[in-house]
């Protein structure tokens, strides 16, 4: 509803501005053909600019509040939530009232247009058409004045003499030859839509008036006497306008129309007045332009190298299912190994992941990336996916996840030391299988044993089943940090990284990015004072989780 109102308002504004240009600069000029095209083009432009506004790109920085941190866990929002039916209470507001009034007006004027057309069709059937001087004529007794409808001329023999017929037919032939009926049909349809705008009716009158100027010019160009032709028009002065979709001989019959027949032709330089339409066009394009917002996502230090775009990129379209039942596993986490770049599997088990900097085989041109897929209760998949051909080609795979009987981790870290069982993807369509690992002639090479985990080399997670929670929630965290910044006489930002360890304590605080040394030092001091958190857990076991916070000093 609001979109409809906005369109009508914008288009109406354009109609008003274009008509003002016509009224002040063009209506008294004698280049009638140019005026005709100006009137039509102005209406079309006003509607199209409102309906198809130009768009300009706007790059938006991802919002980074002082205490708002973004992790890949936010991608869980991609999973649709099925909720019960909602009961909506409908209210009759002012918008519905305005819409009802508008639609009532549309119905009335549409009925008017259809009824007038049906009346003419009825006359054509009742009195039948005949040809006279190369024109289809309907002699009727309903209307006294001659007029044309499409390529048919309606006349009443009682209200004109045979001597007047040559000028009358010459006049109507110009309307027919120059397809003036198209202009009339177009403006009548617009009056149905914009009936509330008085300027659309001004446009209609100007278009019809300009048609008569063109017809008068055409009659006089055939050698008919100006005085005799004007006398014939004056004889029709007492007649009434017939129907909106017709060209009537006596339309706009006044002293101005009679003067225009003998007015000196406007010089060619007068056509420069059409340039006044350009500022109106520019104003409408500027006023109705809409922003095309593009969000620039801020990434953590650990993922910057992974997000650097290479010459090619690899797009993977996959599906994650349970091995035995082939049922989809929504909520499974898919990552590019060693980074926090990833996504979450949708309800139907599908996902799309883009590696902007895959490995490129210099010999074959094949693209490859190492992805890791995790789901609670299933073995982690650690697999290198390879594709040949164009980097934009859709590479579709199905990944089968086995039940985890040994308790493999369902989250990922930069220093992953486990050797999870690899499940090779089954190709659905369009791509060659990934290369098989090389085998020795004597025996298959076994992977080297994992290094022992040291206290200083523990797994630090970016994604866990239960994320750490600050006492009171993120709002309290934001207020806490902001209150701490007030005692520092500094201005600027510092990006501080830290770890919430398995005991909920803040550890390993360091500067990730700083505008100057003082800001970085102060940011570290504030984060180090954070109280204990509720630790994050993975499969019931508390685990350390990394965060990055932007501390802003004002």
Of the two residues 241 and 520, the one the predictor is more confident about is 520
- Please report, rounded to a whole number, the percentage of residues in the chain having pLDDT higher than 90: 17
Instruction: Count other Cβ atoms within 10 Å, centred on residue 191.
Output: 19
pLDDT of residue 420: 36
pLDDT of residue 407: 33
pLDDT of residue 293: 59
Of the two residues 470 and 364, the one the predictor is more confident about is 470
- Please report, rounded to a whole number, the percentage of residues in the chain having pLDDT higher than 70: 72
Lowest mean pLDDT among 8-17, 279-288, 335-344, 382-391: 382-391
Lowest mean pLDDT among 227-231, 367-371, 490-494: 227-231
Give per-residue pLDDT as tens, 496-541. Answer: 988 989 899 999 899 988 889 899 999 999 999 999 998 888 767 8
pLDDT for 13 beyond 90:
yes
Beta strands in 332-424 (DSSP E): 333-336, 342-344, 350-355, 359-360, 367-374, 381-387, 395-401
How much is the mean pLDDT over the chain? Answer: 75
Lowest mean pLDDT among 124-128, 188-192, 301-305, 333-337: 301-305
Q: Where are the alpha helices (DSSP H) in 52-150?
A: 94-127
Once rounded to an integer, what is the mean pLDDT over residues 53-77? 52
Instruction: Count other Cβ atoms within 10 Å, centred on residue 436.
Output: 7
pLDDT for 70 beyond 60:
no
Which pair of structure tokens corresponds to residue 518? 């003082």
Considering the domain boundaries, does residue 8 fall inside one? yes
Of the two residues 473 and 242, the one the predictor is more confident about is 473
Confidence of residue 346 (pLDDT cuts 50, 70, 90): confident
User: Using CA atoms in the order 265, 268, 271, 273, what is the torsion angle rounded to 10 degrees?
Assistant: -90
Tell whether 336 and 484 lie within a shared domain: no
pLDDT for 332 beyond 80:
yes
Lowest mean pLDDT among 302-306, 324-328, 387-391, 401-405: 302-306
3-state SS class at 21: helix
Lowest mean pLDDT among 255-269, 312-326, 347-361, 435-449: 435-449
Tell whether 353 and 259 lie within a shared domain: no
Task: Report the DSSP pairing between strands 367-374 and 333-336.
Answer: antiparallel
Q: Residue 109 is part of which domain span?
A: 2-65+94-285
Considering the domain boundaries, does residue 73 fall inside one? no
Tell whether 159 and 111 lie within a shared domain: yes
Tell whether 275 and 339 lie within a shared domain: no
Length of the chain: 554
Tell whether 485 and 549 lie within a shared domain: yes
Confidence of residue 37 (pLDDT cuts 50, 70, 90): very high
Considering the domain boundaries, does residue 291 fall inside one? no
Number of domains in the chain: 3
pLDDT of residue 449: 40
Tell whether 339 and 191 lie within a shared domain: no
pLDDT of residue 150: 83
Considering the domain boundaries, does residue 275 fall inside one? yes
Tell whether 155 and 229 lie within a shared domain: yes
Once rounded to an integer, what is the mean pLDDT over residues 62-88? 42
Confidence of residue 247 (pLDDT cuts 50, 70, 90): low
Lowest mean pLDDT among 178-187, 197-206, 244-253, 351-360: 244-253
pLDDT of residue 248: 65
Which pair of structure tokens corresponds to residue 82? 């099925």
pLDDT of residue 236: 63
CATH of the domain at 331: 2.60.40.1120
CA 514 to chain CA centroid, Å, is 37
Exposure string for 372-405, b = 16+ CB within 10 A, e = fewer: bbbbeebbbbbbbbbbeeebeeebbbebbbeebe
Tell whether 421 and 512 lie within a shared domain: no
Considering the domain boundaries, does residue 463 fall inside one? no
Cα gap 50→53, rounded to integer Å: 6
Tell whether 325 and 188 lie within a shared domain: no
Considering the domain boundaries, does residue 335 fall inside one? yes
Tell whether 221 and 339 lie within a shared domain: no
Cα gap 365→387, rounded to integer Å: 9
Tell whether 228 and 320 lie within a shared domain: no
Confidence of residue 114 (pLDDT cuts 50, 70, 90): very high
pLDDT for 371 beyond 80:
yes
Once rounded to an integer, what is the mean pLDDT over residues 140-166? 78
Considering the domain boundaries, does residue 445 fall inside one? no
pLDDT of residue 40: 94
pLDDT of residue 439: 39
Of the two residues 299 and 532, the one the predictor is more confident about is 532
Of the two residues 339 and 507, the one the predictor is more confident about is 507
pLDDT of residue 168: 81
pTM (2 d.p.): 0.49
pLDDT for 553 beyond 60:
yes
pLDDT of residue 265: 79
Tell whether 305 and 414 lie within a shared domain: yes
pLDDT of residue 101: 93
pLDDT of residue 126: 87
Of the two residues 344 and 448, the one the predictor is more confident about is 344
pLDDT for 290 beyond 50:
yes
Which of these three, 285, 320, 347, is where a domain ends?
285
Considering the domain boundaries, does residue 82 fall inside one? no
Of the two residues 493 and 267, the one the predictor is more confident about is 493
Q: Work out the angle at residue 50's Cα, subtended by the Cα atoms of residues 44 and 51, and round it to the nearest 5 degrees.
A: 85
Once rounded to an integer, what is the mean pLDDT over residues 211-228? 82
pLDDT of residue 219: 83
């Amino acid at each position: 509803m609001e979109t409809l109102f906005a369109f009508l308002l914008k288009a109406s504004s354009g109609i008003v501005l274009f008509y003002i240009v016509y009224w002040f600069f063009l209506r008294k000029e004698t280049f009638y053909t140019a005026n005709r095209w100006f009137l039509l083009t102005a209406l079309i432009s006003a509607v199209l600019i409102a309906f198809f506004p130009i768009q300009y790109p706007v790059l938006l920085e991802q919002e980074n509040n002082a205490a708002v941190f973004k992790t890949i866990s936010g991608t869980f929002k991609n999973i649709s939530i099925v909720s019960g039916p909602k009961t909506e209470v409908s209210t009759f507001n002012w918008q519905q009232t305005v819409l009802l009034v508008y639609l009532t007006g549309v119905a009335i004027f549409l009925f008017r247009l259809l009824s007038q057309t049906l009346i003419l069709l009825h006359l054509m059937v009742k009195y039948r058409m005949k040809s006279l001087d190369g024109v289809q004529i309907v002699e009727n007794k309903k209307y006294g004045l001659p007029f044309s409808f499409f390529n048919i001329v309606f006349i009443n023999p009682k209200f004109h003499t045979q001597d007047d017929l040559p000028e009358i037919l010459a006049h109507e032939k110009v309307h027919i030859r120059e397809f003036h009926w198209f202009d009339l049909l177009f403006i009548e349809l617009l009056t149905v839509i914009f009936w509330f705008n008085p300027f659309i009716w001004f446009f209609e009158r100007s278009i019809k008036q300009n048609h008569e100027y063109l017809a008068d010019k055409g009659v006089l160009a055939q050698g008919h006497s100006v005085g005799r032709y004007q006398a014939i028009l004056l004889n029709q002065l007492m007649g009434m306008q017939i129907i909106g979709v017709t060209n009537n001989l006596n339309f706009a019959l006044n002293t101005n129309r009679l003067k225009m027949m003998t007015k000196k032709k406007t010089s060619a330089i007068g056509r420069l007045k059409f340039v006044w339409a350009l500022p109106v066009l520019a104003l409408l394009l500027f006023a109705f332009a809409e922003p095309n917002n593009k969000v620039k996502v801020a990434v953590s230090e650990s993922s910057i190298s992974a997000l650097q775009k290479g010459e090619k990129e690899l797009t993977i379209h996959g599906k994650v299912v349970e091995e035995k039942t082939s049922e989809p596993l929504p909520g499974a986490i898919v990552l590019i190994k060693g980074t926090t770049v990833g996504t979450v599997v949708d309800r139907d088990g599908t996902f799309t992941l883009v590696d902007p900097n895959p490995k490129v085989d210099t010999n074959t041109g094949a693209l490859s990336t190492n992805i890791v897929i995790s789901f609670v209760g299933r073995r982690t998949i650690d697999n290198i996916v390879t594709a040949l051909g164009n980097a934009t080609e859709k590479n579709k795979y199905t990944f089968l996840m086995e039940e985890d009987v040994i308790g493999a981790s369902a989250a990922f870290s930069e220093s992953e030391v486990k050797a999870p069982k690899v499940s090779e993807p089954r190709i659905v369509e369009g791509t060659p299988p990934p290369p098989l690992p090389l085998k020795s002639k004597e025996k298959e090479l076994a992977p080297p044993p994992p290094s022992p985990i040291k206290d200083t080399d523990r797994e630090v997670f970016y994604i866990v089943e239960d994320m750490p929670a600050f006492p009171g929630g993120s709002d309290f965290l934001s207020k806490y940090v902001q209150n701490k910044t007030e005692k520092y006489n500094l201005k600027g930002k510092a990006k501080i990284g830290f770890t919430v360890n398995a005991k909920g304590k803040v550890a390993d605080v360091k500067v990730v990015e700083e505008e100057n040394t003082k800001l970085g030092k102060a940011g570290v001091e504030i984060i180090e004072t954070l109280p204990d958190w509720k630790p994050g857990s993975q499969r019931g076991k508390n685990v350390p989780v990394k965060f990055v916070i932007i501390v802003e000093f004002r």
